[in-house]
Structure 1
Amino acid sequence: MKRRDFIAAIGGAVAVWPFAMRAQQPAMPVIGYLGIGTSDTEVSLAAFRQGLREAGYAEGQSVTIHYRWAEGNPERFPALAAELVMLKVHVILTAGGTLAAIAAKRATATIPIVFTAVGDPVEEGLVANLARPGGNVTGFSVTLPDLIGKFLELIKEAVPGASRVALLLKPDAMPALAREVRLKEADASARALGVKLQVFEARRRDDFDEVFSDMSMAGADALVVWPTPVFQLERRRLVDLAAEHRLPAVFPFRNYVEAGGLMSYGPNPSDLTRRAAIYVGKILKGTKPSDLPVEQPTKFELVINLKTAKALGIAVPASLLARADEVID
């Protein structure tokens, strides 16, 4: 081989070598994120990214994330979950309650799924049991069986004269059987406290005005709002309507109270999402979802808005204020 031909051959090899090396390097893992709102309305998105960093992953550097947003329409979940499966993501995180988790589970039996903010994952058919979920699904629940009973106790303590309490729920936010069980528990708790529970249903934002008018016509003295992602998205509207109809209300999460609601009792959803992201990181490193137990909340925050209480003419008992994790003046 002539000297110039040899030099050209070496130069070509050097030019090709970096590309060959890059081709041999493993591609970054890919996460699918299935959310109820949009990137602008998802309050726990920062917590999700924080959890990933704690697990050793940084978006765009060591992991790729494909986001799919339902934009407040849970009916879109099945199609969006199918898109993520088609993209061959390595794990799916659902941040849209029970309906998002169900849609993802129906879309794939092989890709690992981590859910956040579901009710009772066993009753809702997501896992076999909490300790050993089985299959490809695990995650975090936001409710306990007696949570509605606790809501009723709190509203009764804040408003001792309340005899009729409205319960606002989204009827299609969970399977019918699970909803029936929850309603029976809620009714039993109401009877034990000597209050009449009145159930009102709202499927979408357009239903809110009529439903709150119905509550007033029915003589409701107070309101309990069932945890559901669509209500979480519309929390400011719900808070405003409760104030307009002068209904003392207890909500499931603190950001309702930060928006002007009277009182909330529940877990911190951002913390649950952060912990779910850590689960995602473990799965990317090889842990099977069936080996990760479903976790229920261990800490519930009681938050009270005194400004709202004053506007409603409510003198919050000192005993209740003393138990609050935070009081907003």
Structure 2
Amino acid sequence: MKNFVPLMVVVLFIFLIVVVLAQLSGSSKEDGRVYSVGIIARGSAYEQAIEGYKKRMTELGYEEGLNIVYDVRIVLDKDQLSGVVREFIAKDVDLIHTYSTPATQAAYKETKDIPRPIPVVFGSMGDPIISGVIKDIQRPGTNVTGVASLSTELTSKRLEILKQIDPGIERVAMPYTSKELKDVAADKSVEIAKKTADYLKINLILFPVTSEEDNKVVAEKITGDLVEGVVFGGDSLVWSGAGAYIQQAIKERIPLVSSSVEQAKSGALIGIGVDYSVSGIQSADITNKILRGGDPSKIPVQLPEKILLVVNMKTAQQIGIKFNMEFLSQVDLIISDD
């Protein structure tokens, strides 16, 4: 009997720990529910973000194939986004996770008026207020919330970096989604780029893009005898063809300042933008809150926790660029052959 009481205390203690851990996990294992999440990205630039999202969801207790299923769609044609969202609605998914401004706008447009609006969590988009998907950053007021990318706002910084590494630069190319396609983030990026170029006394040469396939054709028009640098805005259509611009920039020995770590790893001279794997983690945390009963209209939109400045030294050597120590002291990550 003397050993019985301590044993009961130990058993009770272990039981309490198990209960607490189960609650913290945020998963639905205990009730046997299987959640369904539709993921839609415009273009192929978001793989790392989606990977980070899924990994964090697993850490939170959502095991793919066990208590959660994902339907991941990478859509190249903007006109197909709404159709994919309607498929998600027909499948009665519990939540839609989006990447890019057009994908988020399509998700909001198709879900906002249905009897039970499906929550939408964006992992990357331009200004969500200007884009019309929320009313306020702190209190969205719709079925949409998520993580803003700042990719549009960073357009000015990318031009400033080009001027910093080459103070004599005068002509810079900027591929962008053609205005007729009505991409809010792309249009805003061009507006910001024009103002910044005027201030820096740079002649900004715009190259409109109408489709992902068009990127290769446009990239071949950007030559060293025409421009001295290339810059990306917050433009998911251009990002989907980033490889073509990177290859052309290296061939023409032109510095390209891109919008992400991944693009720099693929050969862009410099990348400045969000660490998308971290944005995916942030998006998963918001998703968890909603699946546990949180109201997206009351969950504040987050800003990226991590913005990185990345330099590809292999590309620098290939195109004959040398950085001074002052610039390199600002860099978060240096990519080399090592």
1:104 paired to 2:107 = yes
Which has the larger displacement, 168-177 or 136-145?
168-177
Deviations 1:74-131 (A, max 9, x none): 3221111000001111111113x01111111111121110012111111111111211
Q: Superposed, which structure 2 residues align to 1:207-286 within 5 Å?
A: 207-216=214-223, 219-286=226-293
Counterpart of 1:36 in structure 2 is 42
Task: Give the counterpart letter for 2:135 in structure 1.
Answer: A
Preserved contact between residue 202 and residue 211 of structure 1 (Cα < 8 Å): yes
Counterpart of 2:154 in structure 1 is 147
Preserved contact between residue 164 and residue 196 of structure 1 (Cα < 8 Å): yes
Task: Give the counterpart letter for 1:52 in structure 2.
Answer: M
Task: Give the counterpart letter for 1:62 in structure 2.
Answer: N
Match of 2:191 among 184, 187, 198: 184
1:93 paired to 2:100 = no
**Following TM superposition, by how much is the alpha carbon of 1:285 offset from its aligned partner in structure 2, in angstroms?**
0.2
CA distance in 1, matches of 2:237, 2:191: 23
- RMSD over equivalenced CA pairs, Å: 2.4
Structure 1 residues 173 and 282, CA, compared in 2 at 3 Å: closer, same or farther? Answer: farther
CA distance in 2, matches of 1:234, 1:260: 13
Match of 1:83 among 83, 87, 92: 87
Structure 1 residues 100 and 243, CA, compared in 2 at 3 Å: closer, same or farther? Answer: same
CA distance in 2, matches of 1:69, 1:153: 32
CA distance in 2, matches of 1:257, 1:176: 24
Counterpart of 2:62 in structure 1 is 57
Task: Give the counterpart letter for 2:229 in structure 1.
Answer: A
Match of 2:136 among 129, 141, 152: 129
CA distance in 2, matches of 1:157, 1:307: 19
Structure 1 residues 288 and 174, CA, compared in 2 at 3 Å: closer, same or farther? Answer: farther
Preserved contact between residue 163 and residue 194 of structure 1 (Cα < 8 Å): yes
Structure 1 residues 104 and 173, CA, compared in 2 at 3 Å: closer, same or farther? Answer: farther
Match of 2:310 among 295, 299, 303: 303
1:193 paired to 2:200 = yes
CA distance in 2, matches of 1:120, 1:220: 30
Task: Give the counterpart letter for 1:42 in structure 2.
Answer: E
Structure 1 residues 86 and 179, CA, compared in 2 at 3 Å: closer, same or farther? Answer: same
Counterpart of 1:321 in structure 2 is 328
Task: Give the counterpart letter for 1:247 in structure 2.
Answer: I
Structure 1 residues 180 and 79, CA, compared in 2 at 3 Å: closer, same or farther? Answer: closer
CA distance in 1, matches of 2:195, 2:157: 12
Counterpart of 1:12 in structure 2 is none
Task: Give the counterpart letter for 2:283 in structure 1.
Answer: A
**Following TM superposition, by how much is the alpha carbon of 1:148 offset from its aligned partner in structure 2, in angstroms?**
1.3
Helix, strand or coil at the partner of 1:100: helix
Unaligned runs of 5+ in 1: 1-24
CA distance in 2, matches of 1:172, 1:82: 26
Preserved contact between residue 189 and residue 233 of structure 2 (Cα < 8 Å): no
Structure 1 residues 218 and 128, CA, compared in 2 at 3 Å: closer, same or farther? Answer: farther
Q: TM-score, normalised by structure 2?
A: 0.82
Preserved contact between residue 142 and residue 267 of structure 1 (Cα < 8 Å): yes
CA distance in 2, matches of 1:176, 1:123: 11
Helix, strand or coil at the partner of 1:246: coil
Helix, strand or coil at the partner of 1:323: coil
Unaligned runs of 5+ in 2: 1-30
**Following TM superposition, by how much is the alpha carbon of 1:297 offset from its aligned partner in structure 2, in angstroms?**
2.2
Number of residues of Structure 1 aligned to a counterpart in Structure 2: 302
Deviations 1:112-157 (A, max 9, x none): 1001211111111111121111110011111166411110111111
1:114 paired to 2:114 = no
Structure 1 residues 220 and 145, CA, compared in 2 at 3 Å: closer, same or farther? Answer: same
Structure 1 residues 289 and 41, CA, compared in 2 at 3 Å: closer, same or farther? Answer: closer
Task: Give the counterpart letter for 1:199 in structure 2.
Answer: L
CA distance in 2, matches of 1:172, 1:64: 37
Task: Give the counterpart letter for 2:94 in structure 1.
Answer: H
Helix, strand or coil at the partner of 1:134: coil
